[in-house]
Chains A and B, each alone.
Chain A
Amino acid sequence: MIEKKSFDIGYGNVEKINIGKKKDLVFIGGPCAIENRDHALKMAELIYKICNKIGIKFIYKSCYDKDCRSSNKSFRGVGLDKGLEILSDVRKSFNIPVVSDFSDPSWAASTAEVCDLIQIPAYLCRQTSILEAAAKTNKPILLKKGQFMSPWNMKNSVNKLENFGNSKVILTERGTFFGYNMLVNDMKSLPIMAETGYPTCYDATHSVQLPTSAGNISGGEREFIPFLVRSSIAIGIDALFMEVHDDPKNALSDPNTVLNIKYLDPILRQAKALFETKLKLDNEFGDFKVE
């Protein structure tokens, strides 16, 4: 049998968060892009307080370079140096782990110097040079499933990471292309990706994206976020991922999919309640399988 893997996220003084043992629900979230230092710290504080109140482990996510924007006129980011400086401030201010993605292999090492978790963007999830660079940081990796990838094909990307010496991987579902400018959510991908033994994560905000549906920017149907959160947790995940903003309309990246922070508290409280119910069911029914 393929053994279940679990590992800790967090180095230095930040709170170490275990993933894989399914004791606690882990929330990975923040604004899609780092907009500026004040905003990053403000968002971190708001989310941190909500998670703390509910009792959910929190990893702050925000990116310094959005290389995958539909238009080159869109905000790309504050850049590597400034972005990592801000993420480092967030880390130190709240003693929480942080995650950011990178889209150029040469950025991996510096990203890993600051970040506790390294994200591989969905569009780049099978790029060997990116996977190699991420693996060699020895940091845990949040691997997004490409919208064009089948869940079983993600096993190839996992294999690459393992062959480059990294076996701390979280596999993340974020919607699958259905024709043009449309994603569908095949929840079967979560148990399929879990066959690898690695923890799984569900990205509820990118899953409602309508990629580049508005011509030069992506649309989204965020009214479905709560439904998808509930179903993913009922299926069984280790972490929930959502991009959160205090002013989605004016968000500099993904304005049509980010969740307004005013909804974060009820969504996370439901998520936690469902997660705990799921644990009880697992204890009662064990590894229940239908053949």
Chain B
Amino acid sequence: MNKKKFKVHEVMLEVGKFPIAKTTDFLKDSIELMDNYRLGIICVIDEKNKLSGILTDGDLRRNLSNVQKPLASYFLDYTTKYIKRDATTIYENDSLNEALEIMEKKEIWDLPVLNENNELTGLLHLHKAIKKILTNSII
């Protein structure tokens, strides 16, 4: 069987194909964006295009069961208030295998992808990766 070694950038979703928020965006807007892209993650970037952190469906679920303030107030919190700042990331030139190993080990669905300047350039989403793998018969 032909086993092609993919790099992360060949499989990742490029900017524009997954939700990205600015540090000043409201949580409500971020949730709507996640809904529009039908993805359970949003990446928050600063003005230099660096990843500030990520927010996932799981984070939202945990927040919702803990938040004591009115929902109207929660929706108008800045997304940055709830992001996970030490998100696991991968570089675009890393191998897909390496990325999949991290995803398996950490039990996560998505990995923000960075370039050598540490700018956000993509998102590796497990389902898309599986599709790529299956259609290219590399397993």
Contact = CB atoms under 8 A, between A and B. Distances in A.
A146 B77 CA distance: 19
A153 B72 contact: yes
Contacts of B72: 150, 152-153
B80 A155 contact: no
A110 to B, nearest CB: 32
A155 B24 CA distance: 10
Interface size range of chain A in the complex: 10 to 19
Contacts of B70: 150
Contact of A153 (B23, B76, B77, B80): B76
Contacts of A192: 73
Nearest to B69: A152
A156 interface: yes
A2 B80 contact: yes
Interface string B18-37: 00000110100000000000
Interface size range of chain B in the complex: 10 to 19
Nearest to A154: B76
Given A2-B23, A2-B24, A156 B80 contact: no
Interface string A128-154: 000000000000000000000010110
Nearest to B74: A152
A2 B73 CA distance: 17
A163 to B, nearest CB: 11
A195 interface: yes
Most buried by A among B70, B76, B81: B76
Nearest to A156: B76
Interface string B57-83: 000000000000010110011101100
A1 interface: yes
B25 to A, nearest CB: 10
A152 B78 contact: no
Contact of A152 (B23, B24, B76): B76
A159 B24 CA distance: 9
Nearest to B78: A2
B20 to A, nearest CB: 18
Interface of B: 23-24, 26, 70, 72-73, 76-78, 80-81
18 contacts: A1-B23, A1-B80, A2-B23, A2-B24, A2-B78, A2-B80, A150-B70, A150-B72, A152-B72, A152-B73, A153-B76, A155-B26, A155-B76, A156-B76, A159-B26, A192-B73, A195-B78, A195-B81
Given A150-B70, A155-B26, 8 more contacts: A150-B72, A150-B73, A152-B72, A152-B73, A152-B77, A156-B76, A159-B26, A195-B78
- Can you list the 3 inter-chain pairs with the closest CB atoms, starting with the nearest? A152-B73, A152-B76, A155-B76
